[in-house]
Structure 1
Amino acid sequence: MSQTPGDSVAEAKAALRRRLIAARTAMDETERAAAAADLAGWMSADVPFRLEADVTVCCYASVGTEPATAQMLDALVDRGVNVLLPITPDGPPTALEWARYTGTDGLRTGRFGLSEPTGRRLSNAALEIAEVALIPALAVDRRGVRLGRGAGYYDRSLAATGAELVAVVYDDEVLDEIPADSYDIAVGWSLTPGDGFTRLG
């Protein structure tokens, strides 16, 4: 049976995911800690977006080998920003729900082992008021194509938002090109520990 173009894209994405996850696993704790501090530092630098008390930012609580976001979340709160974190609903992949981040004490372990806020749940319509969305990725390319883990929660969630979309990755995870499907939602920015916010596309 011959392959369809969709099959070849899926296989290329799967191979790239394996390589990126292996590279993240090989990082030592000193590298991870330095990256986390640098990401947090960019929140108080000359940010290309307005981050004031009346602004809502969607972000996420990192797990495992992802670029650590705890310091970054607290830096956003210190700026007075309203920060929303995702909650993964039960059932098959669908749009995410959201709740306000109030600190690490207000997090619990949710579905797939993800850290989720315990406050009042908001539907994905909460993204309509967000001005910036800092989202997880395994990599992003210079066109703005983002590689996630493959379930499609973020592609389903971000399709209708007008927020500035920012993929949070390590420095060497900004690639020249990533295989893309028609349903992949492009992002406009990358955020890396070394280079901060970089416009894509």
Structure 2
Amino acid sequence: MDKVQLRARGKQIMANFSTEEKNNIEHELAEHLFKSMIFKQASTIGITISQKNEWSTTSIIERAWKEGKRVTVPKCDPGPKYLNFYQLDSFDQLETVYFGLQEPDPSRCEHVNRDTIDLIIVPGLVFDLHGYRIGYGGGFYDRYLSGYKGETVALASKEQVVKNLPHEKFDIPVNHLITEDGYVF
């Protein structure tokens, strides 16, 4: 399968989960993340604001705030297809932009340099056992992660994990993968 087919397959996998299945998997993913050393040791995390068809990130953000962690969320610059992360202290600091995405309002949030982010939770649709991923096709995360020195982790159902994915020289694999069964690597 090529990337377009794999992306479609990943979207279909997410669409096929019942609400109960999705909630159960989200809970397991979050619990495994919370128990991981990479989460425990991180003082600043980068994480997206999830959409309906993605694993919810709300409980992770709330837990990070509760533990006194600094939460940063990305804002997409669609022209150069680049991400900028901003500190989020409240969901009230979000604005709705194109495609219904919720992103930080730069007039109400502080920009955060990527060198100060300890852990980025990288979204995606399909992952392989080497850390490569198929996302939504914009290349935003690969650009941002180029040169990033901190830890990266992806959260995925085991149904979203395959042995190998096609990848190119500019694709950046994640350092860690967690499924509902626990830590994969």
TM-score w.r.t. length of structure 1: 0.83
Q: C-alpha offsets along residues 141-190 of structure 1, whole Å, 9 cap, x if unaligned?
A: 11111111111111111101101111222221121011111110111111
Which of 22, 26, 38 is the matching residue for 1:49?
38
Separation (CA, whole Å) in 1 of partners of 2:74 and 2:128: 24
SS in 2 for 1:99: strand
Residue 194 (1) aligns with residue 181 (2): yes
Cα distance 1:60–1:50, how it changes in 2: closer, same or farther (>3 A)?
closer
Matched, 1:167 2:157: no
Q: How far apart in 1 are the matches of 2:92 and 2:111?
A: 19
Alignment match, 1:4:
none
TM-superposed CA distance for 1:105, in Å, is: 3.0
Evaluate the alpha carbon distance shift between residue 50 and residue 134 of structure 1 in structure 2; reply closer, same or farther with a 3 A threshold.
closer
Structure 1 CA distance for aligned equivalents of residues 78 and 3 of structure 2: 26
- Where in structure 1 are there 5+ consecutive unaligned residues? 1-10
Supply the distance in 1 between the matched residues of 2:29 and 2:76 (Cα, whole angstroms). Answer: 24
1:28/1:42 Cα in 2 relative to 1: closer, same or farther (>3 Å)?
same
**Percentage identity across paired residues of the two chains:** 25
Which residue of 69, 74, 82 corresponds with 2:57? Answer: 69
2:95 aligned partner: 108
Q: Tell me how far 1:191 sits from its aligned partner.
A: 2.3
Normalised by the size of structure 2, how large is the TM-score? 0.89
- Unaligned runs of 5+ residues in structure 2 are none
Instruction: Tell me how far apart the structure 2 counterparts of residues 26 and 144 of structure 1 sit (CA, whole Å).
Output: 24
Deviates more, 1:174-183 or 1:33-42: 33-42
- Aligned-partner Cα distance in 1 for 2:110–2:122: 19
Cα distance, 1:136–1:20 mapped onto 2, change above 3 Å: same
8 Å Cα contact 1:138-1:149 kept in structure 2: yes
Structure number with the bigger relative contact order (C-alpha 8 A, sep ≥ 6) is 2
The CA RMSD measured in Å over matched residues stands at 1.9
Q: Deviations over 1:37-78 (max 9, x none)?
A: 223323432x122635x7111111110211111111111111
Give CA-to-partner distance per residue, 1:75-127, whole Å, 9 cap, x none: 1111111110000124242x20111122333322123322112332526xx21
- Structure 1 distance, partners of 2:34, 2:178, is 13
The structure-2 alpha-carbon separation of the partners of 1:104 and 1:31, relative to structure 1 and needing over 3 Å to count, comes to: farther
The structure with more radius of gyration: 1
5 Å-filtered alignment, 1:9-24, equals 12-24=2-14
Which of 9, 16, 21 is residue 31 of structure 1 equivalent to? Answer: 21
Match in the other structure for 2:109: 120
Q: What is the count of residue pairs matched by the alignment?
A: 183
